[in-house]
Amino acid sequence: MCINEYMPEENRPIPFENIVYIWDGLTNVSCMTLTKKGGGHAIAVYAPNSPKGVSGCKKLSKANRIDFFAPADYSEGKKLEVRMKLTMDVIIAKIVFAKGKFSFQHEF
């Protein structure tokens, strides 16, 4: 398989709904949009104390192009970590639910 070569969804090792795309600039909008359209998650980060960054993130949020945004502070306990953990909780819950549903269907 070559880079950018099409791969059918059923052959993809990681489904879009299990992808979290963290981005920090407008050059990432197309990748982030593709991830969201495929059922994945997008988190935007901006330079702390940047009114322009916050404004841009608010616009993307209103356009439903991102799930969350936060200052680009990767420290423990900060807003980005909290939002990332929330996103991971959603992904994990969906995986556990699907696994349980699959197991239940095969009990009969």
Query: Mind listing the pLDDT tens digit for each residue in 37-90?
Result: 999 999 999 999 999 999 999 999 999 999 999 999 999 999 999 999 999 999
Residue 98 lies inside a defined structural domain of this protein: yes
Residue 16 lies inside a defined structural domain of this protein: yes
Residue 34 lies inside a defined structural domain of this protein: yes
Query: Mind listing the pLDDT tens digit for each residue in 22-42?
Result: 988 878 888 888 899 999 999
Residue 92 lies inside a defined structural domain of this protein: yes
CB contact set of 94 (below 8 Å; sequence gap of 6+): 17
Range of the domain at 45: 12-105
**Which pLDDT belongs to residue 104?**
67
**Which pLDDT belongs to residue 77?**
96
**Which pLDDT belongs to residue 89?**
97
**Which pLDDT belongs to residue 108?**
59
Residue 5 lies inside a defined structural domain of this protein: no
| Total domain count, the chain | 1
- Alpha-carbon separation of residue 70 from 12, 50, 58, 94 (angstroms): 30, 11, 10, 24
Q: How far apart are CA 45 and CA 56, in angstroms?
A: 10
Nearest CA to 31 among 13, 46, 44, 48? 44
